[in-house]
Chains A and B, each alone.
Chain A
Amino acid sequence: MVPIIIILAVVLAVAVWCVRTVNDFKKKEIRVQEGLSGVEVALTKRYDMLTKMLDAAKGYMKHENELFEKVIELRRGMSVAELNDAQQQMDSLSGKLFAVAEGYPELRSSEVFVELQRGIRDAEEHLQAARRLYNTSVTSYNTAIAMFPAKILAGSRQPKEFFAAEEHKREDVKMTF
Chain B
Amino acid sequence: MEENQALTNEQLESRLKSLRVKAAITMILTYAAVVGIIIMWFFMGNLVLGLVFLVIAMVFAYFSSKSSSTLKKLLSDNIISSVLKEALGNSVEYNPWGKLNPGSMAFPFDYNKVEGSDHIKAVYNGLNIELGDIELIYEAETVDADGNTEKNSITNFKGQWLICDFGKELSGEVCLSASDKKLRRQHKNDSVEMENENFNNRFLVTANDAQEAYYILTPHMMEYILSMADKSGGDVYMSFQRDGKLHVAVKTGRDFFELGKSNANVEGLRRKFLGELRWFTDMIDTLRVEDALYKKETNV
Contact = CB atoms under 8 A, between A and B. Distances in A.
B193 A132 contact: no
Contacts of B195: 132, 135-136
Given A126-B215, A140-B193, A133 B210 contact: yes
A41 to B, nearest CB: 9
A26 to B, nearest CB: 15
A129 B193 contact: no
A96 B138 CA distance: 60
Contacts, number: 26
B292 A125 contact: yes
Main secondary structure of the interface of B (DSSP, over half): loop
B215 A136 contact: no
B194 interface: yes
Contacts of B193: 136, 140
A130 B211 contact: yes
Interface string A89-123: 00000000000000000000000000000100000
Nearest to B219: A132
State which size class the interface on A falls in.
10 to 19
Interface string B206-247: 000011101100100000000000000000000000000000
B214 A130 contact: yes
B295 interface: yes
A38 B292 contact: no
B16 to A, nearest CB: 49
A129 B214 CA distance: 5
A126 B292 contact: no
Grouping DSSP codes into helix (H, G, I), strand (E, B) and loop, the A interface class, with mixed when no group exceeds half, is helix
A140 B193 CA distance: 10
Contacts of B295: 118
A130 B193 CA distance: 14
A129 B215 contact: yes
Interface in A122-177: 125-126, 128-130, 132-133, 135-136, 140
Contacts of A133: 210-211, 214
Point out which of B193, B215, B295 has the most chain A C-beta atoms below 10 A from its C-beta. B215
Interface string A53-92: 0000000000000000000000000000000000000000
Contacts of A42: 211
B215 to A, nearest CB: 4
25 contacts: A38-B211, A42-B211, A118-B295, A125-B215, A125-B292, A126-B211, A126-B215, A128-B214, A128-B218, A129-B211, A129-B212, A129-B214, A129-B215, A130-B211, A130-B214, A132-B195, A132-B214, A133-B210, A133-B211, A135-B195, A136-B193, A136-B194, A136-B195, A136-B214, A140-B193
The 6 closest A-B pairs by CB, nearest first: A129-B214, A129-B215, A133-B214, A132-B214, A38-B211, A129-B211
Interface of B: 193-195, 210-212, 214-215, 218, 292, 295
Given A128-B214, A130-B211, 15 more contacts: A42-B211, A118-B295, A125-B215, A126-B211, A129-B211, A129-B212, A129-B215, A130-B214, A132-B214, A133-B210, A133-B211, A133-B214, A136-B194, A136-B214, A140-B193
